[in-house]
Copies of this chain bind each other. A is one copy, B any other.
Amino acid sequence: MRILLIEDDPGLGSAVRDEIAAEGHVPDLAPTLAYARDLVATMSYDLILLDLGLPDGRGLDFLKALRAKGSVTPVMILTAHDRITERIEGLNAGADDYIVKPFDLAELTARINAVARRYSGNPNPLISLGGLEIDLAAHAIHGPDGQIDLSQREWIIFEALLQRPGQIVSKSQIEDQLYSFDAEVESNTIEVYVSRLRKKLGKDVVHTIRGLGYRLGTP
């Protein structure tokens, strides 16, 4: 997914861009509104992340101009904690969602995915996978023998794979999803969870690539 990040803070900009890229999206970073205008004139984006305070103008004015031109690209605004009026104004100007600084990068990812799902014509995706019907938003799985329930941790791991079909997700990436920053996991917890997912959902739902990680099975 093509994502344009309009953010002048170099540190935040880099961190967010790297996170978006790590999630498999294709990010562009514009530190100014002028550059952002050039980009949206020539590129087609699936989502825009918009900071409201830019060095060469107001993010809000950029957003209004975008909507005035008829663009329906989803826009998520980045706002400071105490800027409530600004937030409301942004939503009124046509933003689809907002996230409050400072934010956790994992939360940003989840929010991005949520906005993208809402606006890609697939707001509540059912995913078909090898005889399973999966409803991510409702955490519901329907298999050939009926409803299948996963525990919270099992869902976290399964979603980590579902969000990256075709990609290898390393054990350390899964650990990062499950535990707080830098927590050391001492045993083969991940393997046991994967085994349980296989038991509940079928042995082909997760493929192991030895030494690298796991990958979602092919539908």
Which residues in A have some Cβ–Cβ distance to B below 8 Å?
14, 17-18, 21-22, 24, 26-27, 35, 38, 42-44, 121-124, 135, 137-140, 142, 146-147, 149, 151-152, 155, 164, 166-168, 207, 209-213, 215, 218
Which of B18, B139, B146, B164 is A209 in contact with, Cβ under 8 Å?
Answer: B139
The 9 closest A-B pairs by CB, nearest first: A138-B167, A152-B211, A139-B168, A21-B124, A140-B167, A140-B166, A26-B42, A149-B209, A152-B212
Can you sample 14 A-B contacts with CB below 8 Å?
A18-B121, A18-B123, A24-B138, A26-B42, A26-B124, A38-B43, A135-B166, A140-B166, A142-B166, A147-B215, A147-B218, A149-B209, A151-B211, A151-B212
Known: A44-B35, A207-B149, A209-B149. A167 touches B121 (CB 8 A): no
Q: A26-B42, A135-B166, A140-B168 are in contact. List 4 more A-B contacts (CB 8 A).
A: A22-B124, A26-B124, A151-B212, A152-B211
Verify A22–B137 contact, CB threshold 8 A.
yes
**B contact residues around A26 at 8 Å (CB):** 42-43, 124
Question: What is the CA–CA distance of A40 and B29 in the complex, to the nearest angstrom?
Answer: 18
Verify A124–B24 contact, CB threshold 8 A.
yes
**B contact residues around A207 at 8 Å (CB):** 149
Closest-by-CB residue of B relative to A24 is B138
Known: A43-B26, A139-B209. A218 touches B167 (CB 8 A): no
Verify B151–A139 contact, CB threshold 8 A.
no
CB distance from A202 to the nearest CB of B (A): 17
Known: A26-B43, A44-B35, A218-B147. A212 touches B17 (CB 8 A): no
Question: What is the CA–CA distance of A155 and B147 in the complex, to the nearest angstrom?
Answer: 24
Verify B211–A137 contact, CB threshold 8 A.
no
Verify A147–B124 contact, CB threshold 8 A.
no
Closest-by-CB residue of B relative to A35 is B44
Question: What is the CA–CA distance of A166 and B147 in the complex, to the nearest angstrom?
Answer: 7
Known: A147-B218, A207-B149, A218-B146. A139 touches B167 (CB 8 A): yes
**B contact residues around A218 at 8 Å (CB):** 146-147
